[in-house]
Chains A and B, each alone.
Chain A
């Protein structure tokens, strides 16, 4: 009798619990699970929404192999990732280490460094388009700034010459457009910095004291205490940066439109163009699945490598 009543109560609680998560269940079916299945089906079709879909099997995937822009956009994305990830991770860790000192005013600096990550969006893309302007932009104005130089031809007299007479045309130059975007992204290291800072502040002081008693110098303390203790945070940031690098869209869409000469055609930008400009829904879906596969593989590789260098307490 008693057991039956408690199981009835349990059933009521189960029902109530299910009602609580019901919004998520509906959202999951409508905006995640359903679309995932639909996307897989669409990727096997040729479909422009207006006319009925036509089943093409692996046709879209086969076509991707031969599409030079797929290769180009993948290479571009990889180029960005290879430079952006290490630079951003070192920059974020470096600033976090600087800010982790017990000095006055660190909160102010922390806020200042973090502001660019907060404002990230269309407004900052417009700002950087202006900064990278070849003739009038801030960067090239600064690079053309005159500096004193020894005039060897004229009896070692001092003369004023531009620091760099012909600075790159940045976003207008196929060779420099990608470096420009990588430079711009460095402005946003504050996001990673905050996470490192939290990680650094979680390292117990005793470990450093113990290392000092053992006669460790600053470099040894950094290598033997800070890095291992921070490794879970580094791992988290690494995974996030990899995923983030493969998702670059807004900057390229607004600042370069993928140009010049497809130099900044990122994979997600090309996907977007296929889906919402050329309405090649099947092809774009197949591209999305390749992206998913790439991100999953890279993440899994990182998780496999993690035990070698990530130390969980």
Chain B
């Protein structure tokens, strides 16, 4: 309290503080422009008439505004199929990862069995393993199963453990649940699976939402996975479809930007509506990792 009074009384310090605040806002607004201008440029291009793309001094607000670019961009390639495939993969993976990571995390946090802690260290150590080491044998495995050019290689692994990071995240969360609830459920004759489903899962909705949001982002944006496993046009995902857009129509920037914005939109919507869970997950990964 004393410091506040001192700061406001002395005009020199007050001037210095106001200057600092003013400068901070100036830098912040400048940085915001740097971060946002690429998006405006993208939007502006996506609404520009094809013939005006090459005009040297065209304005930021296109004249005329060509909404048709979006319709064109999304029909040049079968984007409705890309969307369908991406939705299937993304939702199947979210279900798979949330379910299996929470089961495994429950086992690691609320059950006692020999070798548990050693196995958990093994879980963590798989995070260190670069994907490139396992990629080739996994590709060969899926080749033998004749799963190449299907969505299966992109979905099935999600159901087996759900990824070390998510297991870690959920285990940390389950460890904070009060033991008394579990004991009370046990008294009522609840099996461990019952405790998992009726006690742990309902109490962990925020953590599960964090996992779901991360899983969504990872699979919606995934490029390397589909690139390795998908060949035919009708099985491609949005990310892969966009990439083929570049190789097939690489000079039609107005369409490319329209398609890119269409693909980004769901990500932005999810991000803005689920921001809380997002920041929480990142903070947890940063502080405890």
Query: Chain A residues in contact with chain B, CB under 8 A?
Result: 10, 13-21, 23-24, 26-28, 30-32, 34-36, 38-39, 42, 49, 95, 98-99, 101, 103, 109, 111-113, 115-116, 118-124, 126-131, 133, 136, 138, 141, 187, 190-191, 194-195, 198-199, 202, 212, 233, 236-237, 243, 246-247, 249-250, 253-254, 268, 271-272, 275-276, 281, 284-285, 287-289, 291-292, 295-296, 299
The contact of A20 among B103, B139, B267, by CB within 8 Å, is B103
How far, in Å, is B3 (CB) from chain A's closest CB?
Answer: 8
The contact of A254 among B24, B45, B103, B243, by CB within 8 Å, is B243
Q: Does B239 contact A (CB under 8 A)?
A: yes
Closest 4 CB pairs of A and B: A27-B160, A20-B107, A17-B111, A195-B286
The contact of B104 among A24, A111, A243, A284, by CB within 8 Å, is A24
Residue of A whose beta carbon sits closest to that of B261 = A123
* Chain B residues closer than 8 Å to A39, beta-carbon distance: 133-134, 136-137
Q: Is the CB of B287 within 8 A of A198?
A: yes
Fill in one digit per residue for B184-211: 1 if any A CB lies within 8 Å of its CB, else 0: 0000000111001000000000000000
Residue of A whose beta carbon sits closest to that of B192 = A16
* Chain B residues closer than 8 Å to A131, beta-carbon distance: 38, 41
How far, in Å, is A167 (CB) from chain B's closest CB?
Answer: 14
Q: What are 14 residue pairs bridging A and B, where the CB atoms are less than 8 Å apart in the complex?
A: A16-B193, A17-B111, A27-B157, A42-B137, A101-B21, A123-B242, A141-B56, A195-B286, A198-B287, A236-B289, A246-B130, A250-B223, A254-B243, A299-B128
If A13-B192, A95-B31, A285-B133 are given as contacts, then 13 extra A-B residue pairs at C-beta distance below 8 Å, sorted by A number, are A17-B113, A20-B192, A26-B160, A35-B134, A101-B21, A113-B32, A115-B39, A122-B239, A130-B253, A131-B41, A250-B223, A253-B227, A281-B136
Residue of B whose beta carbon sits closest to that of A195 = B286
Q: Known A49-B140, A103-B25, A127-B42; judge A20-B260 contact (CB<8 A).
A: no
Which of B62-70, B87-95, B119-127, B175-183 lies on the face that meets chain A? B119-127
* Chain A residues closer than 8 Å to B151, beta-carbon distance: none
How far, in Å, is A92 (CB) from chain B's closest CB?
Answer: 11
Residue of B whose beta carbon sits closest to that of A138 = B41
Q: Is the CB of B112 within 8 A of A17?
A: yes
Fill in one digit per residue for B19-48: 1 if any A CB lies within 8 Å of its CB, else 0: 001001101100110011111011001000
Q: Is the CB of A289 within 8 A of B133?
A: yes
Q: Is the CB of A113 within 8 A of B135?
A: no
The contact of B134 among A31, A109, A111, A141, by CB within 8 Å, is A31
Q: Is the CB of B21 within 8 A of A23?
A: no
Q: Is the CB of A10 within 8 A of B112?
A: yes
* Chain A residues closer than 8 Å to B196, beta-carbon distance: 20
CB proximity to A under 8 Å, residues B254-277? 256-257, 260-261, 263-264, 267-268, 271-272, 275
* Chain A residues closer than 8 Å to B279, beta-carbon distance: 194
How far, in Å, is A254 (CB) from chain B's closest CB?
Answer: 6
The contact of A288 among B53, B133, B161, B256, by CB within 8 Å, is B133
* Chain A residues closer than 8 Å to B122, beta-carbon distance: 28
* Chain B residues closer than 8 Å to A32, beta-carbon distance: 126, 129, 134
Q: Is the CB of B123 within 8 A of A24?
A: yes
Q: Is the CB of A136 within 8 A of B161?
A: no
How far, in Å, is A23 (CB) from chain B's closest CB?
Answer: 4
Question: In the assembly, what is the distance between CA of A101 and CA of B217, in Å?
Answer: 30
Q: Is the CB of B137 within 8 A of A24?
A: no
Q: Does B50 contact A (CB under 8 A)?
A: no
Question: In the assembly, what is the distance between CA of A251 and CA of B262, in Å?
Answer: 20
CB proximity to A under 8 Å, residues B209-265? 217, 220-221, 223-224, 227-228, 239-240, 242-243, 245-246, 253, 256-257, 260-261, 263-264
Q: Known A115-B35, A198-B287; judge A21-B132 contact (CB<8 A).
A: no
Q: Is the CB of B160 within 8 A of A292?
A: no
Residue of A whose beta carbon sits closest to that of B242 = A122
Q: Is the CB of B256 within 8 A of A103?
A: no
How far, in Å, is B186 (CB) from chain A's closest CB?
Answer: 11
* Chain A residues closer than 8 Å to B285, beta-carbon distance: 195
* Chain A residues closer than 8 Å to B253, beta-carbon distance: 130, 133, 136
